[in-house]
Amino acid sequence: MNPHNRTSENQELKLSPNAKIVLEKRYQRKDRHGRTKETAADMFHRVASAIAREEAKYAGSPYSVEELEGLFYSLMTDFRFLPNSPTLMNAGTELGQLAACFVLSVGDSMEEIFDAVKYAALIHKSGGGTGFSFSRLRSKDSRVGSTGGVASGPISFLKIFNTATEQVKQGGTRRGANMGVLRVDHPDVLEFIRAKEREGQLNNFNLSVALTEEFMQAVEKDADYSLIAPDTGKEVKRLQAREVFQLLVQKAWESGDPGIVFIDRMNKDNPTPKQGEIESTNPCGEQPLLPFEACNLGSINVARFYDAAREEEFDWEGLKETIHLCVRFLDNVIDASIYPLEQIREKVHQNRKVGLGIMGWADLLYQLEIPYNSRRGLHLAEKLMDFFQQECWSASKTLAEERGPFPAYEDSVYFQKNLGPYRNATTTTIAPTGTLSIIAGCSSGIEPLYALSFVRQVMDGENLLEVNSIFEKALKKAECHSQGLMQEVAQAGSIQKMEHIPESIRGIFVTAMDIDPESHLKMQAAFQKYTDNAVSKTVNLPHSALQEDIYRIYWNAYEFGCKGVTVYRDGSKSEQVLSSGRSGERAAEDKKSVRTRERPEVVYGFTQKVKTGLGDLYLTVNEVDGQPFEVFATIGRSGRSITAKSEAIGRLVSLILRSGISVREVVHQLKGIGGEHPVFQKKGLLLSIPDAVAWVLEHRYLQDDKPAPDAGSLSRPACPECGQDLYFQEGCFLCQACGYTKCG
């Protein structure tokens, strides 16, 4: 595979239907009427030309601008490499902002706080995402010396940042995403951990608690630890570390937020400690940055280097050449980018951080017939990333010889250890590649595939079956491929229980939910071992996962050497994405996302009388196929307010049941809701009308107390743009059908 073989300009790019949709909708330039005015090939030429032009600044370059433009074009159109989305969108345009991730400082004064709000708005407008640490802000109710008043605390300002983000359209394509970080020793840490208890709160933020080594050691010893006032540096309180850790686990189980980052571990790898401490990361957690730093990222599709004709079936030399070309590309992006703030431009040029990573990892394992959750898979991950990191640093050293080292090189650990000189303070990051992997036609980042087959809705309501090409090829080779089987796989989501598929195929083609949490973490740790920055990876769990499972995941992430971890229990964010769609998308959301069943002409059921503190409740439950379909709640006591509330509960429960959500989930949400008039009776204590509804449903339908099945226990959140299923990976929801993403 030779990166010098340029794709013919006249040759039509080989794009999947999904890739065409994503490019046309989100990347190709449009005129003032919203009509696409460039082809996919035009877009890649625009990007290649803009980045190659920067080469003219350096007399020592071995390439001409024209030659390099051809090489960059070939890299992208062969889908061996793609830069981060802002580069594809904005290179060669008037906007010209090419970096994906930024971190801003939030100081402990009103001026600094609202400066940060303004700076974030400018970054979101230009197409970037932002990370913040709120750890410098004094705690809630502490004294403000200049006014004699009391501080409102980090969470109140976090809400202001969230509201501001909601008002700013990000680069004309989506609203901005943010990361909010608070240290575990901040006095308001408990409020921060609970900040997203209610779905829809802080919907433009991912949250992470920055865990220190001191805290983790206290967890291990079951000891307490200090909360430190950031404005005075004095201890204000002590908490039991395990209780705080357990609360983190509980909230992650409930909603996936907050995540955790090991802040001391990130600072241990800080290449320029003289410039300050790392306090936060970008929105998806894989890029630790100093305040006012930005980083431009890109990913190599390692599946493109599979070569069955080779002894190792992998083209290591081709990968080496591609890595060197990609590091040059990303270094040029630093010069080509127009930054939204002068402080950011100065910091970026001072350290010149880049983050080259990979995508297509699961596809490569499929090609090599190596199970993701195997020792062979872990061994190859370490071997690949070790090679990758070494060649990235080699490429950076070559650029330093041509162009000089990054200006802050003498402040770096590389200078102190006599390791350089290098052109870039960091070179490797494993970033999310959701939409990029759709364009490249490969698996995302280092994630396992979420589904081997899925149904995509196209125009006029027609459904198109999408199947992983490597999986389909394996089935045809085994002579067991059929259209019916593909439909079955799309419905099931996993092939592990399909005994009519050969065991050898089932062992190789595992998907995210087939993989145990420890294997997810070990894969993340294998890549982290040879990554300068951090690794974007989600540990996917079934809906039935317990809090104890997440406790083990968090602790293992610490012991395995990860810099942070994201956990997602299937269905735990079912409402959040639906409630955060843009107003213009509400009609599509109402039509496609809530797939309610039609009511039959005749239904049968029962009416049960239940004594409550507000009077006798008459609950009518009508069934379809032996399961509750609709509920009518009538209260015997007069009073419009109580009657209205009872009717509202019945209507909402009916809508939920018709939408396919399980009885168990309805009971889980209603059971235990308190009221002002609880009442004792032979059935036990009934707290309220909702609690009474839960009691009837539970005792009628859940007496066997069987665990709810993982599949179908909750409706998977639907894409607000096309109505297809959303999958949670790398810190974001992603629609495989149209490329819609939602972080936070």
Catalytic residue (choose from 54, 84, 284, 466): 284
Give the tens place of pLDDT for each residue, 656-668. Answer: 888 878 888 888 8
- The residues facing 627 across adjacent strands are 624
> Strand, coil or helix: what is 83?
strand
Instruction: Decide if pLDDT at 490 tops 90.
Output: no
Catalytic residue selected from 18, 204, 270, 282: 282
Q: How many residues belong to the chain?
A: 744
Give the closest residue to 288 by CA, choosing from 267, 273, 272: 267
Check if the beta carbon of residue 454 is closer than 8 Å to that of residue 486.
no
pTM: 0.80
Q: Is 353 left (phi over 0), alpha (psi -120 to 50) or beta?
A: beta
Residue 607 CB coordination number (10 Å): 11
Residue 570 has what pLDDT?
A: 83
Indicate the pairing of strand 627-635 with strand 615-624.
antiparallel
Model confidence band, residue 635 (pLDDT cutoffs 50, 70, 90): confident
**Contact call for residues 667 and 697 (beta carbons, < 8 A):** yes
State the Cα angle at 320 between 390 and 446, rounded to 5°: 75
DSSP H or E stretch at residue 181: strand 178-183
Inform me whether the pLDDT recorded for 212 exceeds 80.
yes
316-320, 592-596, 724-728: which is most confident = 316-320
pLDDT(178) > 60: yes
C-beta separation of 484 from 465 below 8 A: no
Distance separating alpha carbons of residues 201 and 192, to the nearest angstrom: 12
**CA atoms of 390 and 396, how far apart (whole Å):** 10
Q: Greater confidence, 644 or 78?
A: 78
How far CA 380 is from CA of 224, 306, 459, 470, in Å, comes to 41, 13, 42, 19
Is the predicted pLDDT of residue 596 greater than 70, yes or no? no
Residue 642 has which token pair? 């109580």
pLDDT per position as a tens digit, 402-449: 999 999 999 999 999 999 899 999 999 999 998 999 999 999 999 999
721 is catalytic: no
Phi and psi for 732 in degrees, rounded to 5?
Answer: -140, 155
Phi, psi of 32 (to 5 degrees): -70, -15
Is 84 a known active-site residue? no
Q: Are the C-beta atoms of residues 539 and 523 closer than 8 Å to each other? A: no
Question: Beta partners for 601?
Answer: none
C-alpha separations of 230 from 157, 233, 583 in Å: 16, 5, 40
Is 4's pLDDT higher than 50?
Answer: no
Cα of 398 vs its chain's centroid, Å: 34
The pLDDT value given to residue 627:
84
**CA 285 – CA 243 distance, rounded (Å):** 24
Answer yes or no: is pLDDT of 267 > 50. yes
Is residue 573 scored above 90 in pLDDT? Answer: no
Spatial contact of 540 and 566, defined as CB atoms under 8 Å apart:
no
With CA atoms as reference, report the closest residue to 625 among 658, 592, 666, 664.
Answer: 658
Integer Cα distance of 737 and 438 in angstroms: 9
In the annotation, is 111 catalytic? no
**Burial call 134-172: b when 16+ CB within 10 Å, e when fewer:** bbbbbbeebeeeeeeeebbbbbebbeebbebbeebebbe
Report the distance separating Cα 281 and Cα 159, nearest Å: 19
Residue 738 CB contacts under 8 Å (≥ 6 apart), including other chains: 18, 21, 22, 25, 719, 721, 722, 724
On whether the CB atoms of residues 741 and 721 are closer than 8 A, the answer is: no
Give the E-state strand segments of 533-681 in sequence order: 538-541, 564-569, 604-612, 615-624, 627-635, 679-681
Cβ 358 vs Cβ 430: under 8 Å: yes
DSSP letters of 225-273? Answer: EEEE-TTT--EEEEEEHHHHHHHHHHHHHHHS-SEEEEHHHHHHT-S-G
Q: Given this model, what pLDDT does residue 182 score?
A: 98
